[in-house]
């Protein structure tokens, strides 16, 4: 039994929550479209880390799969949006 790991988990959760608030403010305020996409990219990585943190806190392995799926779909989403900004379409004919 130890008390330091739950403390560290809570501390890191608070850090990620604050980081997500920062990204959210940039997402709502961002002057250009690329700022918003950058904020979304940061938001999904922080969300994935939050899920992993819950996995450590509850000691359950199922959170790993959720984090892997968030990483996969977040990458596909933000790359598709960046590509759309670059060329005006996602999949070129």
31 within 8 A of 61, measured Cβ to Cβ: no
* Alpha-carbon Rg for the chain in angstroms: 16
Q: How many CB atoms lie within 10 A of CB 77?
A: 14
Of 56, 73, 89, 90, the residue at the interface with another protein (CB under 8 A) is: 56
Residue 35 CA to its chain's centroid (Å): 15
28 binds another protein (CB under 8 A): no
Count of residues engaged in binding another protein, rule: CB under 8 A: 56
2 binds another protein (CB under 8 A): yes
Nearest by Cα to 50 from 79, 24, 11: 11
Nearest distance in Å: CB 11, another protein: 6
- Per CB under 8 A, residues contacting another protein are 1-9, 11-16, 18-20, 22-23, 25-26, 32-35, 37-39, 41-42, 45-46, 48-49, 52-53, 55-61, 64, 67-68, 71-72, 75, 78-79, 82-83, 85-86
């Amino acid at each position: 039994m130890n008390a330091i790991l739950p403390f560290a988990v809570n501390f890191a959760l608070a850090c990620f929550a604050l980081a997500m608030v920062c990204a959210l403010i940039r997402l709502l305020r961002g002057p250009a479209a690329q700022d918003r996409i950058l904020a979304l990219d940061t938001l999904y990585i922080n969300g994935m880390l939050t899920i992993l943190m819950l996995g450590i806190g509850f000691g359950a392995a199922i959170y790993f799969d959720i984090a892997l799926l968030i990483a996969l779909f977040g990458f596909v989403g933000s790359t598709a949006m960046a590509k759309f900004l670059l060329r005006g379409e996602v999949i070129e004919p």
